[in-house]
Structure 1
């Protein structure tokens, strides 16, 4: 028998204590495990046992850092096709070295984007999740993409089947080029006419209309095989501040928020929306910290969205490079807070590598549990599996970069959206032979003449000759004087207004300048037709307007429809999806002309 001496005993105790501390360092701690973290697969992705097995196998094959990288979605501008530029090297490095989970595309054209995505997918061991902002079609981001009217115009038709078909059409075009997630639809209620960032991107100022059209779009997108993303939770509609510039605060009661801002999101969750984007907004009624963005708030993302509202799909932040965040948080701070809040995907951090390193180090130091990371990665992999199972059966762009049925759909929506609000002189529909001296004074913010001249080109073709003046932020007194001189001699004056609501000081000055000049034109004897191409609320400060028509947005099909409606080529049936302040023209109003 071996005798254990006192020295031997101390030696053995030393080994045991050392072993305990050593093992505690190499074995992941479960102290940070949350009661809410469990193994589940979002029902919205309809996975079978084979799919779940694939998810688990992929999850087991990844290192901690690779798992974290799945949660990072950097941006790709898509307008640089060279093989050896810093941009292409950056993208290649993020795929092969950082092993990010996907990319958000923002510029380019159809052919090059499709080629880029094929090349990127070939470099990645795990399929990449490719997303983009196609709220009203590929044309929102791609130079040669089809463009549908904005959401407010869609709601003006009163026909939810058009939203469904638009969602499906956009999804099919997106999948044809390799984009699998659309950061749409906008589920915000535009209940603040001065909102500088949502406006016509919202379907309506009425929560019921927003919900109906959002759900129709979601249904169409699912049929088209694309993950739709309701945004910007808990609601970006009731603010005067743009979160790209500063942190907006929506200071409403919890009761009000549940009945209004949250309403479309609650309905979308019940409908089966697969993803929700969290806005960089502050809601004092929902958060104890009145300076914290909702996107970084555990109270909003986990307690409210995941636990109370029961959302089980993918939660993605709004772009992390927006000033509402970057003004107050470092890249590492924001990334860590976003994960702790409960987000699954960190969208466009200013430095993806810094974000991955910060989150990974927090896992290694047991500040964030590996179970928390697994929860998000499991959802991301579930989405990728669903995408693989919903591959399109045919390429709608096989005969070119435009698909005629979708272009016809866009025109149909535009035709049905045109809303006649005032027609006191009964000049609409206009008889072209009655007017020989016609003037069109265009009000625009930028200097891009082509985008605002479709209307004028069509009007000129119909009237034979129209004198056109384009006013913008660079216009000087001489151009205003010239425009007024033309208007004084005219028999008919068109006032196409292309400006949207903006909050910056420069735009506000220009807006006031335009209003003053329009009021001067309206005092002339010749009949004037004010046409909205971006801000349906423009009638509010111009009550003296006798003829007012809203197209809601400036996309080409809507400009075409406006001309057709003015000349009596199509019936006018649109109704206001919003109420115009300080007027009698409320939600649902619209003059009808057959």
Structure 2
């Protein structure tokens, strides 16, 4: 910890200060001398049974917003998945080392509820305090931007690609620091962030805006900044993902097994730098990718199950000594070739430590125990991973203080200084890509405006943008048209013809395979352009959409649809904010073949 604090101090001293950093609070993890850590880990491990040590290696979801009294529906879901009814019983039965929160498993509501759930799960893990009982490591995917789990009032920062557009390591550090503080306040100590993938493939269906961009140096710099923000600023454990690099694939590892055809030299130049910087910054944990990289392992094994990649490259060549966590084991990429009973065993043999979300927890746990019994795995190998996980928990302060202060959680999550900082970080990320007709900034407010296109029930960006126009004197109409039918497209175009201006939001309009297989967003925009009325198109996710929207002459990208992103958009449209974001990726033409439509670094202002 002390060595990493020096790294963070040096980093912060060299960054251009664009966002005022918050003072370090007492909630950060305490710094213990190495001897104390070693003593606790060794003593704890000595008193654990084999079943308890194996349980420490697993982290999975549980259903319910209360550890002991979930709803009837959540009881049924737990019973079907785990054979017991409550989250507390799941922890106790399987001796789980970790739990991951999701909204779909009903874990995330208010700060008070989340902190109370965390405390209930910790009590279940610790039981009566007998030796061998260990506090949980609670995690969630709080990447920010388009992947965030903590609902409002939690601070909702821009995601990685937006931060890449802003080019500020200080902003990346601050976003991670505040995010980590809010998570820690509710008892979550492991945000699965930052993304260290270099997104050089515009057709990447799974990474995209979750990456800082296409330049390895930029991605490496912002990855290191966020590692420092999470770990030294907030006292939580960061997770750099997805090793050895998921940025150049057109396949989604949730549904298939991607192959990365980079040569070894290309991997060293493109994919490796962010992970090397993360390791140098003292990252506590690195997540594997379910991808095949023949240049690193010609066997065809996905990285998660590859000794050559995890033990040979990550541990041996990069010198990583922390916890290797698998990506979710219920994803198709590792299930297509191997049985669910073999995947956890092969992952441990490859060098992984933390096994995330097996599709059948009982089957996976029993498979590992059976592998030890038959000699395929040794208990010493189990001890190695358990020791790393225990050491990480100790460094987070969980050995001495695993409980969240519920009242402090309510005060911390969404605190006014945090929300103000969200705007400071978000504003410089907005990127104006095209303004051919000089439509922007808008010169008068007394106009009728139709705001339409893609919408989110959780964030309501259409209503937010329309409300911003109304607040400035316009007559604004909000009409969501997410993946509209032909009839809705025709009706929306007819309405646009009766307005002075249309603002249309698009989300991955380029993806006519998965996200928009009928190309409805493209057809909607084309119909709006055909009205002859001015149209402002806004990509609220991937910036690549402009290549698929012929006729659009005014185009901006916000990289996400958070409240702060939509507020920045409205202010920029009205000239109250000068766009300063620069593309962190290259936008090719729709035909591809290496033809550039907008280069890396492009960005307009006014």
Decide: shared fold, TM above 0.5.
yes
Counterpart of 2:522? 515
Counterpart of 1:399? 411
Counterpart of 2:555? 548
Q: Which shows bigger deviation, 181-190 or 462-471?
A: 462-471
Give how far 1:142 is off.
2.9
Counterpart of 1:525? 532
Give how far 1:238 is off.
0.8
CA distance in 1, matches of 2:180, 2:313: 29
Give how far 1:447 is off.
6.8
Partner residue of 1:264 out of 274, 285, 288: 274
CA distance in 2, matches of 1:502, 1:330: 31
Give how far 1:463 is off.
4.1
Partner residue of 2:134 out of 126, 144, 168: 126
The one-character-per-residue Cα deviations of 1:217-244 (angstroms, maximum 9, x if unpaired) are 1111012010000001111111111111
Counterpart of 2:336? 327
The answer to whether 1:308 aligns with 2:317 is yes
The answer to whether 1:558 aligns with 2:558 is no
Give how far 1:425 is off.
1.8
Checking the alignment, whether the CA contact within 8 Å between 2:181 and 2:235 is kept in structure 1 is: yes
CA distance in 1, matches of 2:557, 2:172: 19
Partner residue of 1:148 out of 149, 154, 157: 157
2:578 alignment partner, SS class:
coil
The answer to whether 1:536 aligns with 2:543 is yes
Closer, same or farther: CA 248–47 of 1 in aligned 2, 3 Å: farther
Counterpart of 1:436? 447
The one-character-per-residue Cα deviations of 1:480-509 (angstroms, maximum 9, x if unpaired) are 11122223333322222234665745x342
CA distance in 1, matches of 2:192, 2:346: 22
CA distance in 2, matches of 1:151, 1:575: 13
1:203 alignment partner, SS class:
coil
2:200 alignment partner, SS class:
coil
Q: Which shows bigger deviation, 44-53 or 114-123?
A: 44-53
CA distance in 2, matches of 1:104, 1:451: 28
Q: Which shows bigger deviation, 133-142 or 268-277?
A: 133-142
The one-character-per-residue Cα deviations of 1:168-205 (angstroms, maximum 9, x if unpaired) are 10111111011111100011111111111111111111
2:201 alignment partner, SS class:
coil
Partner residue of 1:98 out of 94, 97, 111: 94
Structure 2 runs not aligned, ≥5 long:
5-30, 79-83, 126-132, 590-595
Checking the alignment, whether the CA contact within 8 Å between 2:547 and 2:597 is kept in structure 1 is: no
Q: Which shows bigger deviation, 247-256 or 183-192?
A: 247-256
1:130 alignment partner, SS class:
strand
CA distance in 2, matches of 1:576, 1:391: 43
Checking the alignment, whether the CA contact within 8 Å between 1:432 and 1:462 is kept in structure 2 is: no
CA distance in 1, matches of 2:51, 2:176: 36
Which one has a bigger Cα radius of gyration?
1
Give how far 1:131 is off.
1.1
Closer, same or farther: CA 553–279 of 1 in aligned 2, 3 Å: same
- Counting only pairs closer than 5 Å after superposition, residues 153-192 of structure 1 correspond to structure 2 as 153-192=162-201
The answer to whether 1:459 aligns with 2:445 is no
Partner residue of 1:492 out of 473, 478, 501: 501
Counterpart of 1:73? 59
The one-character-per-residue Cα deviations of 1:257-311 (angstroms, maximum 9, x if unpaired) are 1110122111211121110000111112112222x22101111111111111111
Checking the alignment, whether the CA contact within 8 Å between 2:509 and 2:516 is kept in structure 1 is: no
Q: How many residues align structurally?
A: 547
Give how far 1:317 is off.
0.1
Closer, same or farther: CA 79–246 of 1 in aligned 2, 3 Å: farther
CA distance in 2, matches of 1:90, 1:214: 37
The answer to whether 1:57 aligns with 2:43 is yes
Counterpart of 1:4? none
The one-character-per-residue Cα deviations of 1:107-128 (angstroms, maximum 9, x if unpaired) are 2122222111111111222111
The answer to whether 1:246 aligns with 2:232 is no
